[in-house]
């Protein structure tokens, strides 16, 4: 049962989502991860997915489903996945799986995009507050089908976000008030 | 012909016409090759910031002054071994250090840069004893943590010493000595936070030969930047005083334009020396517009411009080689009347500087030492090569004047009587004493005491850039950022072009989260001087405040490249690496900072934090303890030390330290919070709740307080209260992680704790 992800309807996407806006207490997690794709057209490889350049894109070149694999060195907590999409070759059904490696991936989210344009935020939280973050070694984004039943897909960028670690180590909760923060570090 | 050429060269140097000077000097050396002439040539090159040329010219020369100049060039080129060998030849252990105090000072710097603390201390002390006005040496001692009380250093012995120097005697004396002294003196004096401008002026002036004897008054003393009393006299300063960037001129800025100096002659290069070049620091007296020489970096020749030598010149013998610019302007510190320290060292009598030889002008390189009166204490923030702020004291002209020159120093023919010198010397020393004591206390992090001392300064001295930024730093160390902001603001107003202490100011603004002000400051600093590490530190802080750690790191790395002896830049790099979770590089950066300055407690703290994060608690405790020993009054350090002890399960000791931290600074809520944490671990829930209630009063919008209370109530099975507090915690808008944790805690409210992950 595909659910629409938030903001994928045209109405919601237009406007704010042309820019990527993320909460301050989140940071991009996948800089040190190993990214790989199931197939690509020459010149439009996996690098284009991560180059912060919205003009370059990854184009797949094989049979569906197309897979983007993200492997982390240590268990990472992930909250959002952002897609920047195109009009043509746009994915429509996406499944996100998580696990320890290729052998035990389990689907944690499946969504269907309806006419997306711009950044799509896919929150990986479950309903249970305990599952706000996904703690995992590997994330796999599977593109099951495209718009208009196209064979290949374009994705311009993918970013993975998780919470910022507490700047003060060995501390259960982060500080919020100015008085605490002022005294909390020596610079 | 030789005399003509020499005169021409010196004249060119005096007027900053380096190309001409170099050309003419080369003719001179070709026509009459002699060591003195090659010294002159070297001076020309040093003044023009071409230390490498000077290096090649002087290599192998053995005259004392040559060795000194050679050492200066090596120091600028970072060839510390050779510099050391030149000043202190290994096979002649009893050889005398050239240039007296200046030489000792330079040697001290070299030892400091190569980590030989005891030798460095020894030489700085020597320098000070030879020239009590060598503020820069005193400053270095404070930084190394080995300074004696200012009262002893700038006491009676010093007074006698100065008087001796300034009484006219032999003019010809090679300015060298004078310079050295001047520098020393001036530096010391200047170090005082002289008024901003005056200081700078002073320094600048200092160098410049203020020969203008007599009139010195230029530095309206006290406050005034000792503008160097330009000695009107013929101060032939021909010395090119080492390129001390002394912007001696700069010194003048600010404070009153050299008053009445009659002859205000800014002796040649000396004035220039105001180290202005080097760091925009201090020299930047706003007012002083003296041409900042950009020598600075290299030759710290400090000109002790203070010399008020009214009389011509003896100014500042080119301090050339003297390291850090102690621009000991020969300035006869004559009569240092109160104003700045008279560096009279050199003044030996009107000394005709003209002696073909280069009079070491006490140019201050790099440092803009305040002229005479003002202790310019150019306080470098960084441990830059000791730009010693040679605060040259510009001696109150009149007196100096007389001393100086017999010769042309026009000094208006003022005869400085011995008593005037004495009075001047004692006034100057009194000023230096306050400044020195204040600086020493603030280096020992006894900030409240330091502030009390600075308050004793006369108004005009207090309102100078140096003093105000010291005051700002003292407040910063006491974690009173608002006051620090205020003080630094005044400092900027007093001397808008000074970069000294501005990196600390940027950190203050960072803590206060004033991003507008911070970015404005950073922009201004960069436009003032793109080559100063402080500007890039400020820029980096600006980006870091916006959480753009990568760009911030780039900026800090630039600062490091510009001056690798600036410890704070290394520490800031370390902080950024840690924010980017690159712990290895972070540790490396902190260790570089410590290599530059072992007493930089921020770096010790940084290392402690890294190890805390990596859960290497033993290391962490050790490093926090080192930081604590250096700065035993910081409540933040104490609270982290307590946290580390807590992590090592040494709860009792942890609690003790926390108590101390709480006592040390009532406004710091962190130790209380940590104390509550420790009490929870020790299962003393009531105690913890009490503490947290107190905290609630102090910081009512802090979510972590409520969250912790919620947890405690849960442990006590008081579910209603727990729920209430968790709810309150959520209301305070904590971060996403905490929201998750708190929500999870709410869900599991009725689940026993053992199963709970978090607890």
What is the tens place of the pLDDT at every residue in B6-39?
898 888 888 988 889 989 998 888 988 888 888 8
Q: Which residues pair with A94 in a beta bridge?
A: A111, A143
Nearest CB to A183; choose among B615, B668, B732? B668
**Min CA distance, B730 vs chain A (Å)?**
11
Say what the pLDDT of residue A79 is.
54
- A72 pLDDT more than 90: no
Are residues B275 and B283 in contact, defined by beta-carbon separation less than 8 angstroms?
yes
pLDDT tens per residue across span B193-244: 333 333 333 443 334 333 333 333 333 333 333 333 333 333 333 334 344 4
**What are residue A81's DSSP bridge partners?**
A122, A160
B737/A166 touch (CB, cutoff 8 Å), yes or no = yes
3-state secondary structure of B15: coil
**Residue owning tokens 């006490």:** B362
Residue B262's contacts (CB-CB under 8 Å, 6 or more residues apart) are: B212, B213, B214, B215, B231, B232, B310, B401, B410, B411, B412
Quote the CA–CA distance of B595 and B588 in Å, as a whole number: 10
| Largest distance between two CA atoms of chain A | 57
**In 3-state terms, what secondary structure has residue B66?**
helix
Greatest mean pLDDT among A115-129, B265-279, B323-337, B558-572 lies in B558-572
Q: Is A24 on the interface with B (CB under 8 A)?
A: yes
**Mean pLDDT computed over B556-573:** 93
Counting residues of chain A whose pLDDT is more than 90, the rounded percentage is 0
The closest alpha carbon to B390, from B242, B587, B519, belongs to B242
Closest CA of chain B from A168, distance in Å? 8
Provide the token pair at B149.
């009380």
Joined together, the tokens standing for residue B686 give 């009531």
Nearest-neighbour CA in chain A from B212: distance (Å): 46
| Helix-helix angle B465-477:B447-455, to 10 degrees | 150
Of A28, A173, A126, A181, which Cα lies nearest the Cα of B726?
A173
| Residue A172 to residue B490: CA distance in whole angstroms | 41
3-state secondary structure of A27: strand
Q: Name the pLDDT band for B409 (thresholds 50, 70, 90).
A: very low
CB B502 within 8 A of CB B237: no
Is residue A75 less than 8 Å (CB to CB) from chain B? no
CA distance B616 to chain A (A): 11
**Encoding tokens for residue B176?**
């060298």
Kindly list the residues from chain A whose CB atom is less than 8 angstroms away from the CB atom of residue B647. Answer: 170
| DSSP assignments along B133-147, one per residue | T-HHHHHHHHHHT--
| Structural tokens at position B291 | 């041409």
Joined together, the tokens standing for residue B559 give 């600062």
Span B80-92, average pLDDT: 77
Are B273 and B241 in contact by the 8 Å Cβ rule? The answer is yes
Q: Which residues of A touch B746 (CB under 8 A)?
A: 129
Task: For residue B261, name the pLDDT band (cuts at 50, 70, 90).
Answer: very low
C-alpha distances in Å from residue B324, one per residue of A59, B106, B178, B386:
62, 7, 15, 6
Q: Which range has the worst mean pLDDT, B398-402, B443-447, B631-635, B664-668?
A: B398-402
Residue owning tokens 């990596």: B614
Output the pLDDT for position B469.
93
What secondary structure does DSSP assign to B177-232, as a single string?
HHHHHIIIIIHHHHHS---HHHHHHHHHHHHTBTT-TTGGGGS-TTTS--------
Highest mean pLDDT of the ranges B272-276, B426-430, B574-578: B574-578
- Tell me: pLDDT of B262 over 60: no
Q: Contacts of residue A23 in chain B, CB cutoff 8 Å?
A: 736
Residues of B in contact with A130 (CB under 8 A): 740, 743-744, 747
Share of chain B above pLDDT 70, in %: 65
Beta strands in A113-185 (DSSP E): 119-123, 134-146, 154-155, 157-163
DSSP state of A157: E
Nearest CA in chain B to A125: B740
Better-predicted residue by pLDDT, B621 or B348: B621
Q: What is the 3-state secondary structure (H, E, C) of B78-104?
A: CCHHHHHHHHCCCCCCCCCCCCHHHHH
* DSSP SS3 for A45: coil
Helix and strand counts by DSSP (H, E) for chain A: 3, 12
pLDDT of residue A19: 63
Please answer yes or no on whether A182 and B479 come within 8 Å at the CB atom.
Answer: yes
Closest-CA residue of chain A to B575? A187
Q: Which two tokens stand for residue B634?
A: 């910081």
Instruction: Tell whether A25 lies on the interface with B, counting CB pairs under 8 A.
Output: yes
Who's near B310: CB < 8 A, 6+ residues apart?
B210, B211, B212, B213, B214, B215, B216, B229, B231, B232, B233, B261, B262, B263, B332, B334, B335, B395, B397, B398, B399, B400, B401, B402, B404, B409, B411, B412, B414
* Mean pLDDT on A88-117: 81
Which among A180, A181, A184, A185 is the top mutation candidate for probing chain B, defined by the most B β-carbons within 10 Å of its own β-carbon? A180
Task: Say whether A172 and B481 touch across the interface (CB within 8 A).
Answer: no
Cα dist from A96 to A5, A81, A93, A140, B148, whole Å: 12, 9, 10, 6, 69
pLDDT given for residue A78 in this prediction: 60
CA separation for the pair B675, B268 (Å, rounded): 64
Q: Which of B509, B510, B513, B478 is nearest to B492 (CA)?
A: B509
Report the pLDDT value the prediction gives residue B166, as an integer from 0 to 100: 75
Chain B residue at shortest CA distance from A165: B737
* Residue predicted with more confidence, A83 or B122: B122
Distance, CA of A100 to CA of A106 (rounded, Å): 9
Secondary structure element (H or E) that encloses residue B120, with its range: helix B117-130
Q: For chain A, state the CA radius of gyration.
A: 17
Mean pLDDT of chain B: 72
Quickly list DSSP for B612-653: HHTT-HHHHHHHHHHHHHH-TT-HHHHHHHHHHHHHTT-HHH
- Window from B99-108, B450-459, B469-478, B713-722 with minimum mean pLDDT: B99-108
Residue A65: cis peptide before it, omega within 30 degrees of 0:
yes
Q: Mean of the pLDDT values across residues B247-260?
A: 38
Compute, in degrees rounded to 10, the torsion defined by CA atoms B680, B686, B691, B694. 140
pLDDT, residue B128, reads 86
Cβ–Cβ below 8 Å for B702 and A180: yes
Q: How many CB atoms lie within 10 A of CB B32?
A: 15
Tell me whether A28 touches chain B (CB under 8 Å): no
pLDDT at B398: 36
Q: How close B640 comes to chain A (CA, Å)? A: 9
Q: Which residue has the higher pLDDT, B662 or B90?
A: B662
Q: Per DSSP, which regions of B260-375 are E strands?
A: none
Confidence band of A87 (pLDDT split at 50, 70, 90): low
**Cβ–Cβ contact A165 with B under 8 A:** yes
Out of A148-157, B430-439, B545-554, B652-661, which region has the weakest mean confidence (pLDDT)? A148-157
- Determine how many CB atoms are found less than 10 A away from the CB of residue B166: 45
Give chain A positions within 8 Å (CB) of B506.
none
pLDDT score at A123: 73
pLDDT digit string, tens, across residues B687-708: 999 999 998 888 888 888 999 9
Give the dihedral of Cα atoms B268, B269, B274, B277; nearest 10 deg: 140
Which residue's structure tokens are 């507090």?
B725
Show the tokens assigned to B421.
């010198």
Contacts with B700 (C-beta within 8 Å, 6 or more apart), sequence order: none
CA B528 to CA B492: how far, in whole Å? 12
pLDDT at res. B258: 38
Is the predicted pLDDT of residue B305 greater than 70, yes or no? no
Nearest CA in chain B to A28: B580
Mean pLDDT of B729-750: 83
Domains along the sequence of chain B with CATH: 1-98 (1.25.40.10), 499-598 (1.25.40.10), 611-693 (1.25.40.10), 701-758 (no CATH)
**Interchain contact, B511 vs A182, CB within 8 Å:** yes
Question: Strand pairing of A154-155 and A106-112?
Answer: unpaired
Predicted local distance difference test score (pLDDT) of residue B607: 95
Q: Are strands A3-4 and A106-112 parallel, antiparallel or unpaired?
A: parallel
Whether A164 shows a pLDDT value over 80: the answer reads no
Contact B350, B407 (CB under 8 A): yes
Highest mean pLDDT among A90-104, B54-68, B341-355, B448-462: B448-462
CA A50 to centroid of chain Cα atoms: 11
Confidence of residue B310 (pLDDT cuts 50, 70, 90): very low
Would the CB atoms of B708 and A175 count as touching at under 8 Å?
A: no
pLDDT at B96: 66
- CB contact A52 to B (< 8 Å): no
Phi-psi region of B198 (alpha: psi -120 to 50; beta: other; left: phi over 0): alpha
Give me the pLDDT at residue B187, please: 40
pLDDT in the model for residue B752 = 65
- Greater confidence (B621 vs B740) lies with B621
pLDDT per residue over B146-197, tens digit each?
888 888 878 877 777 777 777 765 433 333 443 334 443 444 444 333 333 3
The answer to whether the CB atoms of B647 and A179 lie below 8 A apart is no
Task: Kindly determine whether residue A177 and residue B740, on different chains, have CB atoms separated by under 8 Å.
Answer: no
Relative to beta strand A91-99, strand A134-146 is antiparallel
pLDDT of B432 strictly over 50: yes
Q: What is the mean pLDDT of residues A7-30?
A: 50
The answer, yes or no, to whether residue A21 has pLDDT greater than 90, is: no
Spell out the residues 6+ positions from residue A129 whose beta carbon is closer than 8 angstroms to its own: B739, B740, B743, B744, B746, B747
Give the span between the Cα atoms of B324 and B139, in whole angstroms.
12
* pLDDT classification of B645: cutoffs 50, 70, 90: very high
- Tokens representing B757 are 């992950």
* Token pair listed for A107: 């689907």
**What are the angstrom distances between the C-alpha of B618 and each of B625, B645, B648, B681?**
11, 9, 7, 19
Pair of tokens at residue B465 = 């850039």
| pTM for the full predicted model | 0.69
Whether A172 and chain B come into contact, CB under 8 Å, resolves to: yes
Q: CB-CB: which of B602, B635, B736 is closest to A23? A: B736
Tokens, residue A89: 């070759």
Alpha-carbon gap, residue B327 to B300, rounded angstroms? 8
Tokens of B193: 């936070």
CB B233 within 8 A of CB B265: yes
| Shortest CA gap A30–chain B (Å) | 13
A&B contacts, CB < 8 Å: 113
- Supply the pLDDT for residue A24: 64
Inter-chain touch A179–B698, beta carbons under 8 Å: yes
Q: Which region among B91-100, B149-158, B373-382, B501-510 has the lowest average model confidence (pLDDT)?
A: B373-382
Residue A69: pLDDT over 60: yes
Indicate the pLDDT class of residue B544, thresholds 50, 70 and 90: very high
For A174, which of B507, B699, B734 is closest by C-beta distance?
B734
**Alpha carbon distance B655, B691 (integer Å):** 13
For residue B754, what pLDDT is reported? 53
Q: Has residue B307 got a pLDDT over 70? A: no
Q: What is the pLDDT of residue B392?
A: 36
Smallest CA-to-CA distance from B396 within B370, B364, B420 is with B420
């Amino acid at each position: 049962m595909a659910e629409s992800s938030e903001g994928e309807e045209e109405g919601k996407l237009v406007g704010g989502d042309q820019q990527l806006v993320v909460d301050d207490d989140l940071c991009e997690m996948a800089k040190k991860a190993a990214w790989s794709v199931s197939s690509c057209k020459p010149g439009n490889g996996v690098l284009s997915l991560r180059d912060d350049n919205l003009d370059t894109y990854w184009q797949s070149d094989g049979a569906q489903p197309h897979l983007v694999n993200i492997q982390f060195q240590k268990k990472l907590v992930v909250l959002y996945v952002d897609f920047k999409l195109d009009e043509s070759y746009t994915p429509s059904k996406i499944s996100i799986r998580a696990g320890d490696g290729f052998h035990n991936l389990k689907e944690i989210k499946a969504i269907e995009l309806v006419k997306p344009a711009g950044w799509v935020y896919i929150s990986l939280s479950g309903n249970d507050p305990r599952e706000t973050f996904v703690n995992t070694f590997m994330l796999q984004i599977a593109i099951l089908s495209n718009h208009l039943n196209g064979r290949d897909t374009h994705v311009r960028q993918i970013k993975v976000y998780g919470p910022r670690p507490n700047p003060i180590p060995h501390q259960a909760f982060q500080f919020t008030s100015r008085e605490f923060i002022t005294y909390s570090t020596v610079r | 012909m030789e005399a003509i050429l020499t005169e021409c060269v010196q004249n060119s140097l005096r007027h900053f016409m380096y190309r001409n000077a170099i050309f003419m000097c080369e003719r001179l050396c070709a026509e009459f090759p002699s060591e003195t002439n090659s010294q002159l040539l070297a001076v020309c090159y040093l003044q023009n910031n071409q230390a490498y040329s000077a290096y090649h010219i002087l290599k192998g020369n053995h005259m004392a002054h040559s060795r000194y100049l050679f050492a200066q060039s090596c120091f600028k080129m970072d060839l510390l071994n050779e510099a050391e060998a030149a000043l202190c030849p290994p096979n002649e252990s009893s050889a005398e250090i050239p240039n007296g105090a200046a030489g000792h000072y330079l040697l001290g710097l070299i030892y400091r840069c190569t980590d030989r603390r005891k030798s460095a201390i020894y030489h700085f002390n020597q320098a000070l004893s030879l020239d009590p006005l060598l503020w820069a040496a005193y400053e270095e001692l404070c930084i190394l943590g080995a300074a004696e009380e200012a009262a002893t250093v700038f006491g009676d012995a010093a007074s006698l010493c100065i008087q001796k120097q300034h009484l006219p005697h032999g003019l010809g004396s090679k300015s060298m000595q004078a310079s050295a002294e001047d520098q020393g003196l001036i530096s010391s004096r200047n170090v005082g936070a002289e008024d901003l401008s005056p200081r700078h002026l002073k320094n600048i002036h200092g160098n410049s030969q203020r020969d203008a004897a007599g009139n010195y008054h230029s530095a309206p003393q006290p406050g005034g930047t000792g503008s160097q009393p330009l000695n009107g006299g013929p101060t032939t300063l021909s010395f090119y005083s080492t390129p001390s960037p002394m912007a001696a001129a700069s010194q003048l800025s600010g404070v009153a334009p050299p008053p009445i100096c009659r002859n205000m002659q800014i002796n040649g290069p000396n004035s220039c020396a105001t180290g202005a070049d080097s760091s925009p620091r201090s020299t930047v007296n706003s007012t002083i517009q003296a041409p900042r020489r950009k020598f600075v970096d290299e030759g710290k020749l400090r000109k002790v411009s203070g010399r008020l030598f009214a009389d011509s010149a003896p100014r500042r013998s080119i301090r050339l080689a003297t390291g850090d610019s102690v621009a000991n302007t020969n300035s006869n510190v004559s009569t240092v009347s109160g104003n700045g320290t008279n560096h009279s060292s050199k003044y030996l009598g009107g000394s005709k500087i003209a002696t073909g030889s280069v009079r070491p002008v006490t140019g201050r390189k790099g440092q803009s030492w305040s002229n005479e009166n003002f202790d310019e204490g150019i306080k470098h923030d960084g441990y830059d090569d000791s730009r010693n702020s040679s605060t040259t004291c510009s001696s109150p002209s009149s007196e100096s004047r007389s001393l100086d020159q017999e010769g042309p120093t026009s000094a208006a023919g003022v005869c400085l009587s011995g008593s005037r010198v004495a009075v001047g010397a004692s006034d100057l020393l009194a000023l230096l004493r306050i400044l020195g004591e204040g600086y020493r206390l603030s280096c020992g992090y006894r900030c409240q005491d330091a502030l009390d001392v600075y308050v004793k300064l006369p108004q005009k001295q207090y309102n100078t850039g140096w003093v105000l930024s010291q005051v700002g730093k003292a407040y910063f160390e006491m974690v009173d950022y608002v006051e620090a902001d205020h003080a630094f603001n005044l400092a900027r107003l007093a001397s808008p072009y000074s970069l000294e202490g501005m990196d600390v100011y940027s950190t203050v603004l960072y803590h206060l989260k004033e991003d507008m002000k911070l970015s404005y400051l950073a922009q201004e600093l960069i436009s003032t001087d793109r080559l100063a590490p402080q500007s890039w530190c400020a820029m980096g802080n600006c980006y870091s405040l916006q959480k753009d750690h990568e760009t911030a790191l780039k900026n800090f790395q630039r600062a490091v490249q510009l001056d690798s002896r600036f410890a704070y830049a290394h520490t800031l790099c370390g902080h950024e690496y840690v924010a980017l979770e690159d712990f290895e590089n972070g540790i490396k950066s902190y260790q570089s900072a410590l290599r530059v300055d072992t007493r930089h407690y921020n770096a010790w703290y940084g290392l402690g934090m890294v190890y805390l994060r990596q859960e290497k608690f033993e290391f962490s405790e050790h490093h926090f303890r080192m930081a604590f020993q250096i700065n035993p009054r910081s409540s933040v350090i104490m609270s982290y030390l307590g946290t580390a002890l807590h992590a090592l399960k040494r709860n009792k000791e942890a609690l003790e330290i926390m108590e101390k931290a709480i006592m040390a600074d009532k406004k710091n809520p962190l130790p209380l919070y940590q104390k509550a944490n420790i009490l929870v671990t020790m299962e003393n829930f009531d105690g913890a709740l009490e503490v947290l209630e107190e905290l609630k009063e102090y910081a009512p919008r802090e979510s972590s307080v409520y969250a912790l209370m919620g947890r405690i109530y849960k442990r006590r099975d008081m579910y209603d209260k727990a729920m209430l507090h968790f709810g309150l915690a959520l209301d305070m808008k904590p971060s996403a992680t905490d929201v998750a944790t708190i929500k999870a805690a709410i869900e599991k409210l009725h689940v026993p704790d053992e199963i709970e992950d978090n607890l």
